[in-house]
């Protein structure tokens, strides 16, 4: 059976079931009113009865209060029951009332209380019978059409969110392309390469100088020269980078006292330290200029980078929204599947969507 036919057949059966249920309610509502009327009559009768004269005054006082409370509470509960469905909601309260009255009230007015309790029990039995018949006649509200509409609406929301995400991704690609073109126009890649090369060159020169200077620390220490530059060099080889002229002057004076590898290290520093130091200073100056140039370009590009970051944040939000919608869609599809299975059970036929 096609889904549309199945839904139409379900609606017909549902309308029929509702008419039958209305008749059922009407039938039990009439019976209910008769029962309540009889119970209220019994309550009125109990309320008017006097406590026997030979009863102890203390017990008399207790029973008077119990009877008053019992009558008031039971009458209030019954007068609030308008139909059989309301009775089902109030049965727990009635059960508490008719078992919660005092022991003295039951002793002195046993016949009246038992008569009321019997009628209350019959009320309960009526509701149980009504509810059993109700379940037999009632058709569950399946909400299939609502679920189908919600499913389609959610699918459209997923499609719309995915289109928005694709649009944002396309915009990000365009912005990145614009940024790349901007960087290319100002030669940012070449600048980065030059900066990296100068960093490496400076580091290489400094390591070479410090390596040669460190070889001389032991012999200079043994000489006990008591000169400031000599003591600094013994503690830290980088003094050759900070005070090249003083180090060269020192090495020229102690050169004749050195031999072997120490003499070679000193000779290399005497011949190359000044030139290397100048090269480091010039490289640092050039490096500083290049970094300022690069930073100026990056500063100009900052607005474009912020735009890209904001778009990427919006994409993440949209992805989160899509995941949430898909979970919602999955839940709807499961609920719809269960409802269709129930509809197949009701109609006794296989349904094609």
Question: Which one has a higher pLDDT value, 85 or 100?
Answer: 85
Last residue of a domain, one of 111, 139, 167: 139
pLDDT digits (tens, 9 = 90+) for 323-336: 999 999 999 999 99
State the first-to-last Cα distance of the chain, in angstroms, to the nearest integer. 9
Mean pLDDT of 56-85: 89
Q: DSSP letter for 100, please.
A: S
- Looking at the structure of the chain, the number of domains it has is 2
Let me know: does 249 contact 199? Beta carbons within 8 Å.
no
Q: Which two tokens stand for residue 303?
A: 């607005």
Does residue 99 surpass a pLDDT of 60? no
Whole-number pLDDT of residue 101? 60
Task: Output the CA–CA distances (angstroms, integers) from residue 7 to 1, 141, 144, 155, 180, in the order listed.
Answer: 10, 12, 8, 22, 59
User: Could you tell me if 326 and 258 lie in one domain?
Assistant: yes
Low-confidence winner among 45-59, 124-138, 184-198, 258-272 (lowest mean pLDDT):
45-59
Closest CA to 328 of 163, 141, 153, 146: 153
User: Could you tell me if 230 and 95 lie in one domain?
Assistant: no
User: Could you tell me if 286 and 265 lie in one domain?
Assistant: yes
User: Could you tell me if 204 and 84 lie in one domain?
Assistant: no
Which residues is 352 bridged to in the sheet?
Answer: 2
Residue 203, helix vs strand vs coil: helix
Whole-number pLDDT of residue 100? 58
Does residue 96 surpass a pLDDT of 80? no
Q: DSSP letter for 352, please.
A: B
User: Could you tell me if 134 and 199 lie in one domain?
Assistant: no
Last residue of a domain, one of 118, 139, 160: 139
User: Could you tell me if 94 and 174 lie in one domain?
Assistant: no
Q: pLDDT-based confidence at 33, cuts 50/70/90?
A: very high
pLDDT digits (tens, 9 = 90+) for 134-156: 999 998 888 999 999 999 999 99
Let me know: does 248 contact 287? Beta carbons within 8 Å.
no
pLDDT digits (tens, 9 = 90+) for 284-335: 999 999 999 999 999 999 999 999 999 999 999 999 999 999 999 999 999 9
Q: pLDDT-based confidence at 348, cuts 50/70/90?
A: confident
User: Could you tell me if 191 and 259 lie in one domain?
Assistant: yes
Is 290 a domain residue? yes
* Residue environment code for 138-156, b if the CB has 16+ CB neighbours within 10 A, otherwise e: ebeebebeebbebbeebee
User: Could you tell me if 185 and 228 lie in one domain?
Assistant: yes
What whole-number distance in Å separates Cα of residue 150 and Cα of residue 152? 6
Whole-number pLDDT of residue 225? 84
Q: Which two tokens stand for residue 142?
A: 């399946």
Mean pLDDT of 75-97: 88
Residue 169 sits in which domain range?
148-345
Percentage of the chain exceeding pLDDT 70: 99
Residue 69, helix vs strand vs coil: helix
- Whole-angstrom Cα Rg for the chain: 49
Which residues is 2 bridged to in the sheet?
Answer: 352
Last residue of a domain, one of 76, 104, 139: 139
Does residue 122 surpass a pLDDT of 70? yes
User: Could you tell me if 124 and 24 lie in one domain?
Assistant: yes
User: Could you tell me if 132 and 155 lie in one domain?
Assistant: no
């Amino acid at each position: 059976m096609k889904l549309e036919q199945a839904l139409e057949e379900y609606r017909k059966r549902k309308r029929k079931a509702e008419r039958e249920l209305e008749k059922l309610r009407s039938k039990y509502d009439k019976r209910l009113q008769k029962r309540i009327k009889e119970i209220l009559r019994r309550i009125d009768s109990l309320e008017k009865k006097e406590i026997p004269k030979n009863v102890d005054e203390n017990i008399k006082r207790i029973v008077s209060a119990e009877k008053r409370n019992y009558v008031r509470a039971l009458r209030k509960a019954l007068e609030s029951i308008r139909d059989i469905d309301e009775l089902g909601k109030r049965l727990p309260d009635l059960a508490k009332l008719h078992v919660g009255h005092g022991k003295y009230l039951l002793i002195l007015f046993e016949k009246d209380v038992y008569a009321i309790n019997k009628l209350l029990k019959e009320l309960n039995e009526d509701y149980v019978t009504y509810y059993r018949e109700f379940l037999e006649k009632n058709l569950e509200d399946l909400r299939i059409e609502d679920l189908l509409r919600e499913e389609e609406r959610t699918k459209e929301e997923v499609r719309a969110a995915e289109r928005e995400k694709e649009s944002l991704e396309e915009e990000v690609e365009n912005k990145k392309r614009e940024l790349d073109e901007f960087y290319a126009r100002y030669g940012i890649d070449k600048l980065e390469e030059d900066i990296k090369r100068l960093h490496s060159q400076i580091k290489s020169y400094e390591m070479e100088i410090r390596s040669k200077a460190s070889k001389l620390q032991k012999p200079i220490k043994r000489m006990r020269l008591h000169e400031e530059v000599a003591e600094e060099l013994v503690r830290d080889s980088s003094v050759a980078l900070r005070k090249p002229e003083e180090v060269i002057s020192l090495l020229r004076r102690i050169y004749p006292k050195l031999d072997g590898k120490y003499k070679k290290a000193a000779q290399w520093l005497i011949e190359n330290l000044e030139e290397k130091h100048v090269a480091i200073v010039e490289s640092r100056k050039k490096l500083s200029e290049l970094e300022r140039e690069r930073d100026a370009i990056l500063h100009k590009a900052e607005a474009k980078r912020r735009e890209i970051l904001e778009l990427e944040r919006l994409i993440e939000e949209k992805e989160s929204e899509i995941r949430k919608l898909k979970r919602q869609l999955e839940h709807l599809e499961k609920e719809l599947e269960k409802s269709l299975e129930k509809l197949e059970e009701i109609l006794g036929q296989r349904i094609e969507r």
